Amino acid sequence: MVSAGNVSISSSSSNPRSVSDPNPHSDTDPRFYGRRKGKPLKAARQGLLESLLPHVRIERPEGPLDPTTLFAFKPTALRLEIGFGSGEHLAAQAGENPNTGFIGSEVFLNGVASLLRYVGAANLANVRVFDADVRLLLPNLPDAAFERISLLFPDPWPKTRHAKRRFVSPEMLDECARLLADGGELRVASDHPVYQRWTLQHAAVHTNFQWATKGPEDWRTRPVDSVATRYEGKAIAAGRKPAFFTFVRRNRAA
């Protein structure tokens, strides 16, 4: 057991490292577009980065990584959330599914600190964080590792010349299909019409996915087992209509 203030969390890490030593990047890594830090953090959240993050952080792997070994218990299933924002969705899912291991990736330091607040308050031992570009982690993970991958309100990069920056792409869909178990779900939410169309143009026609929809209400309504994110609330308040797409991984034998 490791302690962070009044929080006690199980950890399989015997050598936690400082927040000042982030997951390293090299000149050959894919280029990342986006913010890494926002407003200065308050002392409490900065303290979580220094005391709690080293114990839940996933180090950048140098070779194949079995994600089940990241936890101090044997998870019955694994889920991945790419770009968890402020962390409220990931934390709620983890709290409701204590036997499932959750991996969240986020490069925005303020978002990481926000998630740690939830992890610490609820003593969530089933959450691990990769605080770097998720593309540096995915290739090291095994086939069919996850029952669900969530991508909630990613940056839409609406300009045509920036389309290559969008996470949903043939290459990333191939990778998600590899990582999902048969029957697993890829969930994508967006409030931007350009990204909504882009997602359907790519994911809905991907040979390894089937769009799980019977009608408009299926994608106009957030899944019943998920919670609203802070960003979703802002989008609705601004008059933007979120769409929630679920794509099911087809059976490999088929």
List active site positions.
155
In angstroms, the Cα distances linking 10 to 47, 98, 150, 165, 205 are 19, 13, 25, 37, 42
Q: What burial class does residue 199 get, using C-beta atoms within 10 Å of its C-beta: 0-12 exposed, 13-18 middle, 19+ buried?
A: buried
Radius of gyration for the chain, computed over Cα atoms and rounded to the nearest angstrom: 18
**Contact predicate 168/203, CB 8 Å:** yes
Cα–Cα distance between 225 and 25 in angstroms, integer? 36
Residue 3 pairs with which residues in a beta bridge?
A: 8
Tell me 14's DSSP state.
S
In angstroms, the Cα distances linking 37 to 40, 41, 63, 106, 107 are 8, 9, 28, 11, 8
**Contact predicate 95/105, CB 8 Å:** no
Residue 7 pairs with which residues in a beta bridge?
A: 4
